[in-house]
Structure formats: C-alpha cells, structure tokens
Amino acid sequence: MASQEACAQLLDQLPAIGEIKRQFHRVAPPVGSNNVGAAGAIPMLGILATDGEQRASDLAERLRVDLSVISRQVAALIEAGMVARATDPADRRVHRLAITDTGLRTLRAHRERMVELISRGLEDWSDDDVVTFAGSLRRFADSVAASYRPGPQIAVVPQPGAPVAV
C-alpha cells in the first residue's frame, strides 16, 4: 500500500494534469458562431462517435456537467453541423443526438493535433516509457474512482507547519 507521504507527493503533481488540459483546450477547434462550447465539444463528440446516439441528459451525466451546459454546447455543435438531433422513436418527447460526418472529421483532426502536441512534448521518452505511463495513469484513475465512497465530507485540516498545496 502506498504511504500517505507518497500519495501527498502525487497529489501535489495533479495540477499538472489541469495544465495539460488547458493546452488541449487552446488547440480545440472553433465551434459555432460564438465559439460556444469549444472546449467541451471534443469529449462530447468522442462519446457520440464511440457509443452512438445519446440523450442530452445522458451526455450531461457522463461528462459530469449541468444540463444547461450541454444544451449550449449541443446548440453550437448543431449550428456547426457536427451534431444532428432527432426525435427518439421510443419516446417522441425526447431528442437523441448523433455525430455527423463533419463532427467525425473534426474529432479526427483534433486527435491528430493532440497526438502531435504530445509527440513533441515526449520527444525524449521511449515508446516503453509512454506505454508504461499510459497504463499507470489509467490504473491510477480507475483505482481512485473505485475507492470513492459517497457519504459525509471529511474536513481536512492541515497539521501545523505542513506545506499546503495550492
């Protein structure tokens, strides 16, 4: 079992993932006339490409965002021709969303840009290092997700003199 000290060191490095995510958002393709939802477009397009048609509420749940966020992103993606909306034949009150050919091309182009960005950043890494890191990152995410137990939140009070990561 990893020690608390080792886990604290890992925690201190997690903001780096946010920085990488911000880099990815900087190269996200424009979406719609006002660029609404550009950062969220790629994950949504990825889900639609991988899993097929979805309800907006299902997308909101999977992406862990409010339905109003999904609605704005969907409107921009429809305007840009990347997503199509159709009435659900099983429940005519509900709409299902599907990725279009334009959305697939955009998703592929974005993925190519991301692979190029990562490749430039990892020029001095071996393939084995990259594959090992990718596996470890997936294992880490799965392990943390599996350890989540809903319930009362625990207030964390730093010990006197302990460094506080911001």
User: Would residue 127 count as lying in a domain?
Assistant: no
**pLDDT tens per residue, range 7-16:** 999 999 999 9
Helix/strand/coil for 88: strand
The verdict on residue 17 lying in a domain is no
Query: Domain total for the chain?
Result: 1
Answer whether residue 101 is part of any domain. Answer: yes
The CA distance from 5 to 16, in Å, is 19
pTM exceeding the 0.75 threshold for the entire prediction: no
Say which CATH number the domain at 82 has: 1.10.10.10
Is residue 94 situated within a structural domain? yes
62 located within any domain: yes
Of 18, 100, 34, whose CA–CA distance to 26 is shortest? 18
159 lies in some domain = no
In a domain, 104, yes or no: yes
| Predicted local distance difference test score (pLDDT) of residue 153 | 58
> Residue 93 domain-assigned?
yes
- Predicted confidence (pLDDT) per residue in 49-92, tens digit: 999 999 999 999 999 899 998 998 898 899 999 999 998 888 88
Q: What is the mean pLDDT of residues 96-102?
A: 95
Q: What is the mean pLDDT of the chain?
A: 86
Q: What pLDDT score was predicted for residue 166?
A: 47
Q: Which residue has the higher pLDDT, 90 or 107?
A: 107
User: How far apart are the C-alpha atoms of 106 and 129, rounded to whole Å?
Assistant: 29
Residue 125 has pLDDT above 70, yes or no: yes
The whole domain housing 56 covers 35-120
* Sign of the CA dihedral running 135, 138, 143, 25: positive
For 141, what's the count of Cα atoms within 13 Å in the CB-facing half-sphere?
6
Q: What percent of the chain has pLDDT over 70?
A: 85
Give the pLDDT band of residue 159 (cuts 50, 70, 90).
Answer: low
The type of residue at 71 is S
Over residues 137-166, mean pLDDT: 72
Among 66-70, 88-92, 109-113, 135-139, which stretch is predicted with the lowest mean pLDDT? Answer: 88-92
Q: What is the pLDDT of residue 25?
A: 78
